[in-house]
Amino acid sequence: MRDRTRYLYLAVIVAVLLGIAVGFIWPDAGKALKPLGTGFVNLIKMMISPIIFCTIVLGVGSVTRAAKVGRVGGLALGYFIAMSTVALVIGLAVGNLLDPGAGLQITDAARQAAGEEAAKGGQASTADFLLGIIPATLVSAFTAGQVLQTLLVALLCGFALQAMGAKAAPILNGIGHVQRLVFRVLAMIMWAAPVGAFGAIAAVVGSTGIKALQSLAVIMIGFYVTCLLFVGLVLGPLLWLVARINLWSLLRYLGREFLLILSTSSSESALPRLIAKMEHLGVSRPVVGITVPTGYSFNLDGTAIYLTMATLFVASATGAPLGLGEQISLLLFMIIASKGAAGVTGAGLATLAGGLQSHRPELVDGVGLIVGIDRFMSEARALTNFAGNAVATVLVGTWTKEFDRDRAREVLAGRAPFDEATLLDEDEDEDGDKPRPKEMAPVG
């Protein structure tokens, strides 16, 4: 089946260019188009609570299954949390260093409104804030649009399902179906991205002129460079120290998969091939079967960097920068909220909006600034996520003594090439039927 999202990609590019042209040539008309961007952001906001609920509930179930397999699951999950945290910290550091939104003050009125909202939020005591996390009813968190309340309900439901054991399976399957429905709705909403990008970019360029393009270029280039530095300076040395494997040899071995991801903007498209290639490389099948699917939900290094840098950009561009304490609490929120959304178009925007909604609701409208370049940044997110999961599989295999290093050297040297026909054969069972996805990957 032809991937129609590539047409969406092209439509967003065209819409951004048209928005820039309208903003430059007819500034007043560009400003008048702001409701288009606002409408699109409101559609994204509508999906925040159901997305967070489904991904967190299913993610908690996934952790339970992974932990039951012993050392492999424990090591993998510990590593995923550590590396996600490192990626988030790097994103915060680079975001503060570059400060790409500096000087892009949308309007004095917007800046004043943001300051007033922040002042209102600052009047609440710590006790009021904590009590505000508790919803009035179990379902009111969804209708009130309170992200932290939704997160609390999702965690409670997830742990309750853990305690139910095998009896929870039908409920988890049901939530899995609801999640697919939610993501299908999100995919439909994303087809409105060109309209939202057109309105948002036209309004920003109409208000600020060339500064808007400069700021967007800075954050986009900075994000790409940050992802490269993370892969080269964090993952590379770690892979060599633990497994004595050269990072660039491993990435070259996975070259076809990177091209597939680049063409689809989703690391999910290469999941079956990564499983087959990691086994061919010399990592045992149990380690691959646990680490790769779990990593696709919990080891999202590129997404972590994106979320933090984009948040700092939106806050700075709207004239309401986040303090250090707010940045740290936002980091903790993102560690949880970013799980389980790999490979889903628009989930990054929804998670970004959710983080802002939970910490500084007045900044959510600023997500419209990111819409125009989000598609350009999605490739770097997906490629970084994929590289992180490939490295994680080798590391966990080494730590559990389930990695054949001699076999890996033969494969990476080209003396034991991967047979594409093997992948096709392994995709079918003895009866020639395709295996069910649930046997390959965790729920969600």
Q: Is the pLDDT of residue 306 over 70?
A: yes
Range of weakest confidence among 69-73, 247-251, 352-356, 421-425: 421-425
Domains of the chain and CATH, by start? 5-439 (1.10.3860)
Q: With a threshold of 0.85, does the pTM exceed it? A: no
Interval 335-345: pLDDT, tens: 666 654 544 44
* pLDDT, tens digit, 9 for 90 and up, residues 241-282: 999 999 999 999 998 888 767 655 566 667 777 888 898 999
- Answer for the pair 58, 175: CB distance below 8 angstroms, yes or no: yes
Residue 192: DSSP 8-state:
T
The answer to whether 394 and 281 are in contact (CB under 8 A) is: yes
**CA angle, 266 then 267 then 270, to 5°:** 115
In Å, what is the CA distance from 281 to each residue of 71, 278, 399, 403?
A: 21, 5, 16, 9
Whether 203 contacts 33, CB under 8 Å: yes
- 3: helix, coil or strand? coil
Phi, psi (rounded to 5 degrees) for 283? -85, 135
List, in sequence order, every residue forming a beta bridge with 283; answer none if it has no partner.
403
Distance, C-alpha 147 to centroid of its chain: 17
Pair of tokens at residue 410: 């033969």
- Which residues on neighbouring strands pair with residue 403, listed in sequence order? 283
Q: Report how far apart, in Å, the C-alpha atoms of 132 and of each of 124, 155, 245, 328 are.
A: 10, 16, 49, 20
